Amino acid sequence: MKRALFLVTAATILIGAASGFAQSNRKDWIPLGGLGKALYPSETRKPQFRRGGKRIEFFVAQGQLPNILSQNLSTACAHGRFNQRKDKRYYVIVNLDDGRKKRFGYADSTGFNLHDPDRRVGLNQVYLFDFDNTSECRVYAVESNL
């Protein structure tokens, strides 16, 4: 009796596998991995994700940096309480006086790319981060019309 039950079960599995194999070779059958092609048949490429960050067009001169440095936010940044969500994923380039360019991380008061659990954010401000996620973190707060 047990042997007969085993043979019936094995036969059922083999028949199911064979029909699954036949279905996977049919052209009108769409496997789960091809769902994107079914929804968007004209788009055959896979999506490509950029590595690195996105540059934000925002002007700040090197001479402004000492005036806009926020000691309170810099201390909170060093303690991990006011940081970028993704370090330098979005950035601003500042032209230095000696001709070099420096890259600063970017976040704003709308919460874009900003980790601020203590709600230190000000109204209509843009934040530039230097050395984020380190004890030397510096945060520059710039008034902006968001």
pTM of the model: 0.61
Residues of the domain holding 110: 54-143
Spatial distance between the Cα atoms of 78 and 112, rounded to a whole number of angstroms: 20
Q: Phi, psi at residue 25, to the nearest 5°?
A: -90, -10
Q: For the chain, what is the mean pLDDT?
A: 74
Total count of domains within the chain: 2
139 assigned to some structural domain: yes
60 assigned to some structural domain: yes
Task: Say yes or no: 16 and 61 in one domain.
Answer: no
44 assigned to some structural domain: no
pLDDT for the residue 34: 44
pLDDT digits (tens, 9 = 90+) for 56-104: 766 788 888 999 999 999 999 999 999 999 987 888 888 888 888 889 9
pLDDT for the residue 63: 87
Task: Say yes or no: 6 and 67 in one domain.
Answer: no
131 assigned to some structural domain: yes
Query: Residue 100: helix, strand or coil by DSSP?
Result: coil
Q: How confident is the model at residue 42 (pLDDT cuts 50, 70, 90)?
A: very low
15 assigned to some structural domain: yes
